[in-house]
Structure 1
Amino acid sequence: MGIKGFVEGGIASIVAGCTTHPLDLIKVRMQLQGETQVPNHAVQTLRPSLAFQTTGGAAAAPSSAIHVPQPVRVGPIATGVRIVQTEGVAALFSGVSATVLRQTLYSTTRMGLYDILKQKWTDPEARTMPLGRKIAAGLIAGAIGAAVGNPADVAMVRMQADGRLPPAQRRNYTSVIDAITRMSKQEGITSLWRGSSLTVNRAMLVTASQLASYDQFKEMILEKGVMKDGLGTHVTASFAAGFVAAVASNPVDVIKTRVMNMNVEPGEKPPYAGALDCAIKTVRAEGPMALYKGFIPTISRQGPFTVVLFVTLEQVRKLMKDF
């Protein structure tokens, strides 16, 4: 039974990940708006002109993560159109190989573990699991899944963000394997777990809110007799779960994207000292709402992703019920 949960969750996750990949790419590009990474040797030149931008007259960021005034920020549709115009339609699927690997490692693990914990912690008499246990199961499953899938997550963020850089600064990874191999050689094996604390925190929030919410909404709909157990119930419960997951995870997602994407030059200080440093610099330079950058594409992606995930999962379970 345990292995079956991993297989079902893995298939559903890969289908959902590939289907919504362009929306995820647009989200990443929007989360990086307002951030310009400048080589450290240029920081001293820029510092005098940027000093007045910081809060309370404090000195500008002492690393290469300089937040420079950007052109008027554009929405998800305009961002998508601009990507197609400047990089071609294929650019919307940049990093899709990393998405497949990430879903194979991360989502297969979290879905399978959640299924195992759900079976162990469900009250045999009531045949339901209390909300608190659902959340706990989601937190545990999300944390372990994120730790396993972090290398693919870093590779995916970098491949999705590459097109926004000038041609001379692009990493031009040819595949997720190329990205992971080059990162290991050029930046050390530990670079594959860059931002892992953020990935784990985000995954715990997403998994707990997404899976627990879906089960809870589904149970409420069925108990109240609003709808029968079918496609309508699955779509309604999954979209509601997607909204809850997007609200809970967006701030951590923004910081995770920036930390993973930062350009660390050999022998030089990283743009961000860590997650907290990144959060402080982002809020100080761009305001608190910067943590909700990309929220529209996040919910635009999280909603469909969660719907496709659970609708596919329910269908796969039906097909595999006799196995």
Structure 2
Amino acid sequence: MSIVTHPLDLAKVRLQAAPLPKPTIGKMITGILKNEGVVGLYSGLSAALLRQCTYTTARFGAYDLIKQKLIPKDQLTNMVYLLPSSMVSGAIGGFVGNFADVLNIRMQNDSALEASQRRNYKNALDGVYKIYRYEGGIKTLLTGWKPNMVRGVLMTASQVVTYDVFKNYLVIQLQFDPTKNTTHFSASLLAGLVATTICSPADVIKTRIMNAKDEHRSAMQILRTAVKNEGPSFMFRGWLPSFTRLGPFTMLIFFAIEQLKKHKVGMPKELKDKV
């Protein structure tokens, strides 16, 4: 999934970090192809894969574990249970995957910087080593962890909860078949739309903090400067590539989750017997 959606994620990060005047997504992608070639669309791919192996795995795994272990079986569609479960899961994912997110943003935006400002990480592992050895160690790897956890909370809550809610509505109110792929795709597309909109402000701020050379500025300082110079609309910069990426990504990930549940892959034996 990361390989398929990476060019859109790259365009989103470049748009979020780009100075005014703001380029369009078309001009951004055209510029990348012109200056860096097709390979340029996959800058930082190793970090993106590492991010999915940490951030995405942790938050979805934690959410399913909480649902299985802590939520009563007759309350699996109750927002009172689902919302706090998703928020805790998102916070866990945001913290666990923060170091990979720092690498992902820096590697994706590196080619857009002046030559003297580039970090030139060869790959994600080389980036982790260089940050740990020469660029501040653990403290730098945790750059932006607070807004990243906020984004993780917002993303997971708006993604997994809205998916469950939309799926439940489609099945109960519109008589969709809960086993059909059309039901899963419809619910996940709507969830992706909600998640993109809710998470955009935190995503933009997170990108700027992690990409900044001045790592001592707080999220509030960056927010105040951006609002002063660009207006409140800066919080939705890169919304279109975000949705273009997150919509299909959300559809693919929930389709994969539904298939794993259907075939009882990765479930403990006691839960398999109940399904």
Shared fold by TM > 0.5? yes
Choose which of 230, 245, 249 in structure 1 pairs with 2:195: 245
Q: Which amino acid is 1:160 matched to?
A: Q
Report deviation, 1:33. 1.7
SS of residue in 1 equivalent to 2:120 = coil
Question: What are the within-5 Å matches in structure 2 for residues 227-306 of structure 1?
Answer: 227-229=176-178, 230-264=180-214, 270=215, 273-306=217-250
Query: What CA deviation, in whole Å up to 9, does each residue of 1:261-282 have, x standing for no partner?
Result: 0114xxxxx4x52101110000
After superposition, residues 31-180 of structure 1 pair within 5 angstroms as 31-34=16-19, 70=20, 72-124=21-73, 126=74, 128-180=76-128
Q: Secondary structure at the match of 2:41?
A: helix
> Equivalent residue for 2:9?
24
* Residue in structure 2 matched with residue 45 of structure 1 by the alignment: none
Cα distance between partner residues in 1 of 2:248 and 2:124: 24
Secondary structure of 1:20 counterpart: helix
Q: Does 159-168 or 249-258 show the bigger shift? A: 159-168
CA contact (8 A) 2:189 2:247 kept: yes
Shift of 1:100: 1.2
Shift of residue 121, structure 1, vs aligned partner:
4.1
Equivalent residues of 1:251, 1:291 under 8 A apart: yes
Larger CA Rg, structure 1 vs 2: 1
Does the CA contact (< 8 Å) of 2:11 and 2:29 recur in 1? Answer: yes
Question: How far does the alpha carbon of each residue in 1:171-213 deviate from its partner, in whole angstroms, 9 at most, with x for none?
Answer: 1111001111111122222100000001100000000110001
- Amino acid paired to 2:129: T
Q: Which runs of 5+ in 1 are unaligned?
A: 1-15, 35-69, 265-269
Q: For 2:260 and 2:69, how far apart are their aligned partners in 1?
A: 22
Note if 1:316 corresponds to 2:260.
yes
Cα distance in 2 between the residues matched to 1:225 and 1:276: 44
**Would the aligned equivalents of 2:196 and 2:243 in 1 still touch at CA under 8 Å?**
yes
What's the CA shift for 1:322? 8.6
SS in 1 for 2:97: helix
Deviations 1:100-132 (A, max 9, x none): 1111111111111100111234433x3633112
**Percent of pairs with identical residues:** 37
1:147-226 matches, within 5 Å, as 147-189=95-137, 190-226=139-175
Offset of 1:220 from its aligned partner? 0.9
In the TM superposition, residue 252 of structure 1 has moved relative to its aligned partner by 0.7
Tell me if the contact between 1:238 and 1:307 (Cα under 8 Å) persists in the aligned partners.
yes
Comparing 285-294 with 160-169, greater Cα deviation is found at: 160-169
Unaligned runs of 5+ in 2: 268-275
Q: What letter is aligned with 1:297?
A: P
Q: Give aligned pairs, total.
A: 265
> How big is the shift at 1:228?
1.0
Q: Which has the higher contact order (CA 8 A, sep 6+)?
A: 1
Distance 1:216 1:95 in 2: 34
- 164-173 or 279-288, which moves further after superposition? 164-173
Return the letter of the residue paired with 1:263: K
CA distance in 1, matches of 2:2, 2:59: 14
Once the two structures are superposed, residues 6-54 of structure 1 have per-residue CA deviations (whole angstroms, 9 ceiling, x without a partner) of xxxxxxxxxx3332111111000000122xxxxxxxxxxxxxxxxxxxx
Q: Which residue of 2 aligns with 1:5?
A: none
